[in-house]
Structure 1
Amino acid sequence: MFAGAVALQLPFIYACNTEVIDEVIISVSDNKYSINNVDLRIIMDVLIPKSEIGPSATSIKADVYFYWLIADSRVDLSRRRNLAASISRINMFAKEKYDSPLQNLSENDLGETIEAISLTNWGETDLSLLMTVCFEAMFANTVYDVNTDQKGWQWLGYMGGVPFPSVKNKYPEIMEINHLK
């Protein structure tokens, strides 16, 4: 029970210490995964880079949303496992191809690595899952400490549903509310 409580707080803890934590070890079911936060941000920013017209994945805190998804026991277990393993798989591919971790690759080598990964079956799946996380983060409400300043909404010209969730009725808390009282 305690581990579950800590897992649900991980996105909050991570968001508060985002510049300090380099690596997170997280349990999904019975498996432990080591996720390098720098690699996660690098990969996400290759998928959704900052441009003149839009924010980067990390500027909308897609990395925080990534951890929130992995910690949510209501999310499909295979999705959580694939997400948790994806960063290590991508980094291992870079090490095999360039004998260097992602963090040490040039921008050109990084782009080539992600492109080569996208041509593999596992890589297409991993990158698709990570892109989905980035897109979901763009639409997320700021109450989840994601898409702060509504940068994703502004870029997409989107207005979130009203009324906005509050701390008391946001997901997953809303799942515990008895609406039939």
Structure 2
Amino acid sequence: AGMGALASLPVFSVNAKAQTSLNELLNTLVKTDPWLTLDATLNQLLPSSATGPSASEIRATAYLHQVMTVQPTEQDEKDFILKGVGWLNGYANSEKSADFAQLSFTDKEQLLRGISRSTAGQNWLNTLLGYIFQAMLSPASYGGNPNGIGWTWLEHQAGFPLPEKGQRYFELPTRARIDLISRVDYDAKRLASSRNPSHQGTKKS
């Protein structure tokens, strides 16, 4: 997509002071687990590429942090995500004698392929991939997709007006919340169907 697509998108501007505070918080969090491993895993699932934005560029970790700390996410879901960090690091230490975040790109890819062979491992990776897609599609008020970078890459036209803090789906009256969740879920399923993503070979060819 070119600049024309970017110009046609409604842009959500995050308050500069709030954004700086969030950046500082995340920079501290990703230095230790569980966020160190979660950040490394998200960046491995969607690495830097000449053909599209990376997990870092769409701020997937910031989005997941909001899912875990601000949004009304089921406790079982949050527990599962955190348990996966322990599983992955245990596997990394048994295979490579180091935690996952300390490994090379190639070793990380090998380990993710390895854990994907188990049902729990595959479910964990699919859960994180789902949040990567959400980070691409959600307005910036949810933590990811700065300046609509994900929409531009996917050539996706966002709705308008975009929600600000206080207007996000979990802050809306029940009826409006259901309608918005249905729309986001539809967009995510359509994207997953068209892209047929996999944790391996996440770069676009």
- Normalising to structure 1: TM-score of the pair? 0.76
CA positional deviation for 1:71:
2.3
Q: Which amino acid aligns with 1:41?
A: D
Distance 1:67 1:177 in 2: 26
> 1:110 corresponds to which residue?
108
Q: Is this contact kept in 2: 1:15–1:145, CA < 8 A? A: no
The counterpart of 2:164, out of the listed 146, 163, 166, is 166
Over the matched positions of the two proteins, sequence identity in percent amounts to 22
Q: What is the CA distance between 1:15 and its match in structure 2? A: 3.6
Whole-Å Cα distance in 1 between the matches of residues 104 and 66 of structure 2?
30
Contact 2:58 2:136 in 1 (8 A): yes
Query: Who is 1:18 aligned against?
Result: 26
Answer 1 or 2: higher relative contact order, Cα 8 Å, separation at least 6. Answer: 2
Where does residue 92 of structure 2 map in the other structure? 94
Per-residue Cα deviation, 1:87-146 (whole angstroms, up to 9, x for no partner)? 222122111111111122122111111110111121101101111111111101012231
3-state SS in 1 of match to 2:169: coil
Q: Which amino acid aligns with 1:127?
A: L
4+ residue segments displaced more than 6 Å: none
RMSD after superposition: 2.5
**SS in structure 1 of the partner of residue 28 of structure 2:** coil
Gap change, CA 1:39 and 1:171, over 3 Å in 2? same
Structure with more strand by fraction: 1
User: Which residue of the partner structure matches residue 144 of structure 1?
Assistant: 142
Q: Show structure 1 runs of 5+ residues with no match.
A: 1-10, 24-34
